[in-house]
Amino acid sequence: MNQADSQRIQTILEELGWEETSMDQANLVVLNTCSVRKAPEEKAHNQLALLKQAKAKRSDLLVALMGCMIGNQKTIDELSRRYPHIDLFMKVEQADILPRFLEERWTPISGAGCLDIEYMPNETEPSSKPEHLEPVSPTFATSTITFGKRTVLPMAITPKPGERTAHYPTKIEQVSPTAWLPVILGCNKVCTYCIVPYRRGRERSRPVDELVTEARSLVTKGAKELTLLGQTVEAYGLDLPDKPDLAYLMSQLSVIDGLERIRFMTSYPRHMTNSMIERMANLPKVCEHLNIPVQSGDDNVLKRMKRGYTLDEYREKIRRVRELWPGITLSTDIIVGFCGETEEEFQHTLDLLNEIRFDVVHVAAYSVRPGTVAARWEDDVPLAEKKRRLHAVEELEATIAHEINEQYLGKIEEVLVEEDNTSHGRRQWKGRNRANKLVFFPQPEQENSIHPGDLVKVQIERTTPWSLQGCMVGI
């Protein structure tokens, strides 16, 4: 989701005539932050400290902070006390404020001792510049922030009635064959460990026609595969007037010529109805992969996490998905070391992994997120123990994934080529099969016969827990 957001900010800036550059060269730094775990937030704090030093040397540097670190007014006040060098606090949905902010705050200065930069919004705009000066675009660096005289925007987390329609910056230049399409923003769940609802607000779906228009535009620019994004993607449409669901949205996207594949993530176990699964499974462009976070294999832990389902309900959902959607592959998210997690409770998570046999497991050690319900509880599993549990999950999953992937040996897979992956002088291509497995294959003898965005047939010759390798056998 954050990558998709950064990509959109980048496009807005490029359309305003700004060019990307390194942090130390930039006139504007946009720091896009993630708060889901402690580690990425600490990284953002480090960057903010570095930017403080940079700004002390270059007072015309603008710094903008966006993303999950921006919560309510209290959080903004705390951040601005700690980092007075932040010029702009901006939620991603407020990206349309950037042009106004830059208009007000960006003062192009040229001359000795100053930055030799002219702001050229677009080529057709009448210019008052002296003729002898060549236009030089101002530069920006996106990382995970933006600032000047501080501009604090209204930060209503929940849109007022009548303002429910999600706004999201839609213009984007596409060069890669795979693109993100955020379809629902925010999250209505109240998992006790999670900061997302406090930072991204309540669920807001983007209207079907807006998404179809954006999808067409992405395909025109070269996208062959779209991943529909949301924290709980199956909640798509519940807040829209006609209640279109995710499967309906997919059917509308499926008719776009040139769009080959549709993916979606992440799923919340309770929202996926049988009807939705059946309709998705019947759409040929929708790929057979489901990311369905379970978080723990123990009912007591799930209760403390306030996940809203029991393990039996989760098992039943997986059974139905596998029955109604042949060939589907599954990935999940697990948190280890949540408050009070005993050794026995943790063992239940390993048991569940052995039982379900996911293709991929994303595992994280629990980290306290201030402001969440669980932050009031004792974080009583020591760090070393969390790490041990995390490695135990990784080790078990490596064995399971290895066994699953071995079943691909000798099979011919349809691969969407994503990029050149030449390493150590050996030219090879990287892509994914429909089941979301990474596939690598060497450049066929005929030079320039493959391009990103091609759909090719690859026969699998070797496997690891994380990827498949083979040879191209056809187009």
349 binds ligand SAM, rule: CB under 6 A? no
Q: Does 385 bind ligand SAM (CB under 6 A)?
A: no
d(CA 260, CA 161): 38
Nearer to ligand SAM, 137 or 231 (CB): 231
Residue 240 region by backbone torsions, left for phi larger than 0, else alpha for psi between -120 and 50, else beta: beta
Binding segment (CB under 6 A) for ligand SAM, from list 156-164, 256-264, 366-374, 464-472? 366-374
Looking at 178, 296, 367, 463, which residue binds ligand SAM (CB under 6 A)? Answer: 367
- Contact flag: residue 232 with ligand SAM (CB under 6 A): yes
How many chain residues interact with ligand SAM (CB under 6 A)? 17
Report d(CA 201, CA 197) in Å as an integer. 5
DSSP state of 36: S
Q: Which of 67, 293 has the CB closer to ligand SAM?
A: 293
What is the spatial order of strands in the sheet that 360-365 belongs to? 289-291, 329-336, 360-365
- Cβ proximity to ligand SAM: between 12 and 334 the closer is 334
* Structure tokens belonging to residue 316: 């039943």
Residue nearest to ligand SAM (CB): 333
**What does residue 404 show for φ and ψ, rounded to 5 degrees?**
-65, -45
Question: What are the φ/ψ torsions at residue 274 (nearest 5 degrees)?
Answer: -60, -40
The Cα 239–Cα 165 span in angstroms is: 9
In angstroms, the CA 321 to CA 23 distance is: 46
Binding flags for ligand SAM, 20-39, as an x/- string (CB under 6 A): ----------------xx--
Minimum CB distance to ligand SAM, residue 73 (Å): 23
Q: Does 178 sit near ligand SAM (CB under 6 A)?
A: no
The span from the CA of 257 to the CA of 92, in Å, is 30
**What phi and psi values does residue 83 have, to the nearest 5 degrees?**
-125, 80
Contact between 335 and ligand SAM by CB under 6 A: the answer reads yes
Residue span binding ligand SAM (CB under 6 A) among the ranges 7-15, 23-31, 363-371, 409-417: 363-371
Looking at residues 273 to 312 of the shown chain, list those that interact with ligand SAM (rule: CB under 6 A). Answer: 293, 295
Among 194, 256, 318, 381, binds ligand SAM (CB under 6 A): 194
Out of 196, 218, 287, 301, the residue judged to bind ligand SAM by CB under 6 A: 196
Distances (CA, A) of 330 to 227, 283, 325: 16, 18, 11
User: Interface with ligand SAM includes 183 (CB under 6 A)?
Assistant: no
Does position 211 bind ligand SAM by CB under 6 A?
A: no
Asked if 369 touches ligand SAM (CB under 6 A), the answer is yes
Decide if residue 317 touches ligand SAM (CB under 6 A): no
Q: What residue ranges in 116-186 does DSSP mark as E strands?
A: 139-142, 151-152, 178-182, 184-185
Which residue in the set 231, 251, 329, 433 belongs to the binding site for ligand SAM (CB under 6 A)? 231
Q: How many CA atoms lie within 13 A of 80 on its CB side?
A: 22
What does the binding site for ligand SAM look like in residue numbers (CB under 6 A)?
Answer: 36-37, 193-194, 196, 231-232, 266, 268, 293, 295, 333, 335, 364, 366-367, 369
